[in-house]
Amino acid sequence: MAFRLLVTAGDGIGPEVTREAVTVLQQVFSRSGKSLEVSEKRIGGIGIDTDGTPLPQETLEAALGSDAVFLGAVGGTKWNGLPPNTRPEAGLLQLRAALGGFANLRPAFSIAELAANSPLKLEIVAGADILFVRELLGGLYFGAPREWNRGTGEAWNTMRYTREEIVRVARVAFELAAKRGKKVTSVDKANVLEVSQLWRATVAEVAAEFPDVTLEHQLVDSMAMLLMMSPRNYDVVLTENLFGDILSDESAVITGSLGMLPSATIGGKVNLYEPIHGSAPDIAGKGLANPLGAILTGALVLRHSADMEAEAAEVETAVRKTLEMGFRTPDLVRGDGAGFKVLSTTEMGTKVREMLHS
């Protein structure tokens, strides 16, 4: 039976990077004699413009009927004036809720060939390999009540978690840590927030089920600093929705660019795959976008949804080889760029496909 991938490329650079990732997946499936069925639907700003809603019903149904969903990015300046519940981003949040995946895995790693491109010192980033496990369906993103009361000039959002929501995402983090560096750093703001106190106590309970994995707690403000000072100290970093959003973008500094980082959301009905970056309106339509985060996201589709671990590793190796040979998109070049071959989005995708099976 064919593997059914629903592609929701979205806005800005979303379609540009998604095209490269999907072409890589098509090549991988065809080389392994497996069948891939790709269909495309609208989400985000393009959904608002065409269908009057950021998550058209047709897209939602297709997503629920697929084996995996690949999302490019949503949003853009054109829709910035809209209230949160009708913006392009609301379409993505509705999709996440409907698919039900609560554990968003965001690997942040230093690739040796790229370490020199990080604004951080080589000896600090070299060898860093962090896996963020970001809770994706709770916290401020989904808590009620939420409102901007224009009459009174007040606005509020609610940070809410239940014990069960924390237990299930913590188990994912510990299970993954048991298979890698055996350490979980749980990040919260337990010195101020009740929600964080529940988080900390619950994570400690779950830790007792995993005696081989070490647990440490860290407050989010100091964690933001420590991640940049000593990224190699961290293995699995477990945190709630908003803290995970912020810290994972910060960790893009370790790789040299936000355009490098993939993500996979697991635990629900259908897994959702997205590079962590946004629609990058400042570079959209110019061929400047780095497609490697999207291509590495494709590798996660192979690993977590298609049962094709060997092929996932091949894609990751192809990305490394491409970098080793000095190929770069402009976001990865610092200084005068001497010694690098600077490629457009499409050229970079083509280069990775050439490296695959070469």
136 and 241 Cβ atoms separated by less than 8 Å: yes
Of 47, 56, 76, 256, the one binding ligand NAD (CB under 6 A) is: 76
Residue 136 contacts ligand NAD per CB under 6 A: no
Q: Of all residues in this chain, which one has the CB nearest to Mn ion in the complex?
A: 245
Which residue in 11, 189, 234, 331 is the catalytic one? 189
Known catalytic residue at 234: no
Query: Residue 189 binds which entry of ligand IPM, Mn ion, ligand NAD, none, with Cβ cut-offs from 5 to 8 Å by kind?
Result: none
Q: How many CB atoms are located within 10 Å of the residue 192 CB? A: 12
Listing DSSP states for 50-87 in one string gives HHSSSS-HHHHHHHHTSSEEEEEE---GGGTTS-GGGS
Which residue ranges make up the site for Mn ion (CB under 5 A)?
A: 245
Minimum distance, C-beta of residue 181 to ligand IPM, in the bound complex (Å): 24
**Please, which residue, 165 or 274, has the CB nearer to ligand NAD?**
274
Spatial strand order of the sheet with 68-73 comes to 36-40, 3-10, 68-73, 271-273, 264-266, 103-109, 129-135, 236-239, 183-188, 214-219
The residue count of the chain comes to: 358
Provide, rounded to whole angstroms, the least separation between the CB of residue 346 and ligand IPM. Answer: 24
Nearest to Mn ion of 266, 306 (CB atom): 266
- Please pick, among 11, 188, 235, 245, the residue that the annotation labels catalytic: 245
> Does position 17 bind ligand NAD by CB under 6 A?
yes
Q: Please identify, using beta-carbon distances, which residue of 215 and 238 lies nearer to Mn ion.
A: 238
Q: Could you tell me which of 15, 97, 18, 39 has the C-alpha nearest to residue 262? A: 18
Among 293, 296, 298, 306, the residue binding ligand NAD under the rule CB under 6 A is 293
- Which entry of Mn ion, ligand NAD, ligand IPM, none binds 227, CB below 5 to 8 A by partner kind? none
To the query of whether residue 161 is one of the catalytic residues in this protein, the response is no
The DSSP secondary structure of 239-289, one letter per residue, reads E-HHHHHHHHHHTHHHHT-GGG---EEESSSSEEE--SS---TTTTTTT--
| Pair 293, 262: CB distance under 8 Å | yes
Q: Which is nearer to ligand NAD, 78 or 171 (CB)?
A: 78
141 carries an active-site annotation: yes
Binding stretches for ligand NAD (CB under 6 A): 13, 17, 73-76, 89, 92, 257-259, 274, 277-283, 289-290, 293, 331
The catalytic site residues sit at 141, 189, 221, 245, 249
